Amino acid sequence: MELTFKSLLLLAAAFYFLLRITAYLLIAHQNRIFAKSHNCLTPRRFPSSFLGLPNWVRVMRAAKRGDVLEHIASRYPTYGNTWKGRILFGASIGTIEPENIKAMLATSFKDFGLGPERHANFYPLLGDGIFTLDGAGWEHARANLRPQFSREQVSDVGALEVHVQRLMNRLPEGDGEVADLQSLFYCLTLDSATEFLVGESVDSLLSPELNPTGDVDGGKEEMSFAQAFNVSQTYLINRTRVRGLYWLINTKRFRDANAIVHRLVDKYVDMALHPEKRARKISEKKYVFLDAIAAETKDPKYLRDQTLNILLAGRDTTASLLSFTFWLLARHPHIYKKLREEILLAFGTGRNGEGKHPSFSALKDLTYLRYVLNETLRLYPPVPLNGRSALRNTVLPRGGGEDGLSPIFIPKGQRVDYSCYALHRRKDLYGEDADTFRPERWGEGIGRGWEFLPFNGGPRICLGQQYALTEASYTVTRILQKYARIEVAGTHTGPTMDLTLTVAPKKVLLRLWKA
Ligand code: HEM
Ligand SMILES: *[C@@H]1O[C@H](CO)[C@@H](O)[C@H](O)[C@H]1NC(C)=O
Ligand SMILES: *[C@@H]1O[C@H](CO)[C@@H](O)[C@H](O)[C@H]1NC(C)=O
Ligand SMILES: *[C@@H]1O[C@H](CO)[C@@H](O)[C@H](O)[C@H]1NC(C)=O
């Protein structure tokens, strides 16, 4: 009797494995036929011993040093612009081929998505928002958000002026004094984004210590909103790094940080749903993003998720652009001088009411400022790494064969990662001086399509591009009006970088001299 039970069990197990193996072979066979009918060839191999564990350890070491971006970029010259390998268990495809990125983001848009893993990984902080959703959920979120980025909304420089003035007030008055510009930029973009999104700024630039704890619930929190937002994002990127095992990284600190972020946003959602609770009356004229979407739907979780996703989109990216712009300008005095001349010619120094206030359209006309911002976005794209998952069997047009010119097969569920950081530094596209900060290259009449993707492309192109460029242009203009010269403070050279979902220099410490 016992024997029969055992053999039955064995038989069942054998049957199960046989079934799995047959299914596997069948799929492999079908995939081969699919690949062949699309003329796909295999991509170059990225060496991956022991299930890619050593590759993963290398990434983690680079993360500790603060040069993950360089580490990832260094694979491409060696293994080609598209390669396939393993990084911690899963098969990994990396590409910096504009044609492939264009296919994922535009021409084969329906074949690729953020994927279920990104949704599950980001969910504890971001919920069901525009940065986590695919398909109908994304379409709905995007359609609801789109009107909020109309020209009128994004050209309101008056709303920016008050926050930029507060930032200016925190810069040193004495010549040659040191300022930590990056911390100020993160406060600036948080203050202006909260005002634009929820109607009330968290006013972090007004608080003496810049990042006071307890801006939620009257001082009872152990982290400030800004700190908690940073902590949550660090967890999200660490979870991304362990791929399918993201759920293992789920500490109390992560949950606490998410809860602090949620509580602050919920406070504003509550006000949007019950305007009578508002302490300050918001003027009829002023545009408030949250109120606009609250007119469409009353679901508090939906409102929180949408608002938080845009806050993430708006704060760190623009702060990153501003930080790197000044990081670079301080190291290139002649470019600072040339840019300042353009700004003074257009607006004067702005002292004692001299000259005009920079307007939206006048800012757009500053050609050299545009060059400087594009060149900064090229060398340091705020969203430096990105990727998509195949939602069905599909192909990418480049990367197959020794010459990399044939299509490659992408099975359903496969992730494809791309690095804008590495793409933007390709010498065959940008020339031998691709690593050099040279804004003038943008005046040489070379159109940059899918070679330049700081804001992504296709149906999911950044909604806030205009808003971000206006905010950055306005801030740069105001600071350059006041300061004739800036200089690096301290001895650090290369930017060791903080990489979360966005990238920022570790610090931007500068000395400033007034005009
Ligand atoms: C320099 C500043 C900025 C950069 C470099 C930037 C870059 C990007 C990138 C690369 C994406 C695509 C993400 C992906 O699909 O994986 C994106 C999407 C998005 N951005 Fe920005 N962004 C910036 C500023 C802003 C601002 C200020 C806002 C809003 C206030 C904003 C709102 C959005 C939204 C809503 C999306 C999602 C679009 C969608 O999935 O349909 N961005 N941005
Ligand atoms: C959040 O991270 C950025 C970038 O690393 C940093 O400049 C900023 O000071 C941090 N803010 C807080 C409150 O920790
Ligand atoms: C994320 O990973 C880095 C690098 O391994 C580590 O130094 C850091 O403490 C981690 N952060 C969190 C919040 O887990
Ligand atoms: C900067 O890059 C954008 C693409 O994101 C392009 O449309 C624009 O023309 C560029 N500006 C200049 C001055 O080349």
Q: Can you name the residues that pair with 418 across neighbouring β-strands?
A: 95, 386
Cα(275)–Cα(120) distance, integer angstroms: 33
| Mean of pLDDT values over 375-392 | 96
- C-beta of residue 442 within 8 angstroms of C-beta of residue 377: no
Query: In this structure, which ligand is nearest to the CA of 228?
Result: 2
Q: What is the pLDDT of residue 1?
A: 54
- Token pair recorded at residue 417: 């990662």
Torsion of CA 56, 61, 66, 70, to 10 degrees: -60
Based on DSSP, count helices (H) and strands (E) in the chain, helices before strands. 20, 13
Closest CA relative to residue 376, chosen from 469, 457, 312: 469
C-alpha 212: how far from chain center: 25
Is residue 382's pLDDT more than 80? yes
Q: What is the pLDDT of residue 148?
A: 77
What pTM was estimated for this model as a whole? Answer: 0.92
The residue among 336 and 196 whose pLDDT is bigger is 336
Q: Which of 216, 230, 312, 322 to mutate to test the pocket of ligand 2 (most atoms within 8 A of CB)?
A: 230
- Which atom from ligand 1 is nearest to the alpha carbon of 459? 41
Q: Ligand 2 pocket by C-beta < 6 Å: which residues?
A: 182-183, 186, 211, 224, 226-227, 230, 498, 504
Among the ranges given (130-139, 224-233, 254-263), the one the predictor scored with the smallest mean pLDDT: 224-233
Residue closest by Cα to atom 11 of ligand 1: 462
- C-beta of residue 316 within 8 angstroms of C-beta of residue 500: yes
Q: Can you name the residues that pair with 310 across neighbouring β-strands?
A: none
Express each pLDDT in 99-114 by its tens digit.
Answer: 999 999 999 999 999 9
Q: What is the pLDDT of residue 494?
A: 64
Residue 462 is labelled as binding a ligand: yes
Instruction: Give the neighbor-by-neighbor strand order of the sheet with 82-86.
Output: 44-45, 82-86, 91-95, 415-419, 385-390, 112-113
Express each pLDDT in 356-374 by its tens digit.
Answer: 678 888 999 999 999 999 9
- C-beta of residue 81 within 8 angstroms of C-beta of residue 98: no
Closest CA relative to residue 148, chosen from 22, 281, 3, 307: 307
Ligand 3 centroid vs 388 CA: distance in angstroms? Answer: 24
| Mean of pLDDT values over 414-430 | 96
Cα(312)–Cα(304) distance, integer angstroms: 12
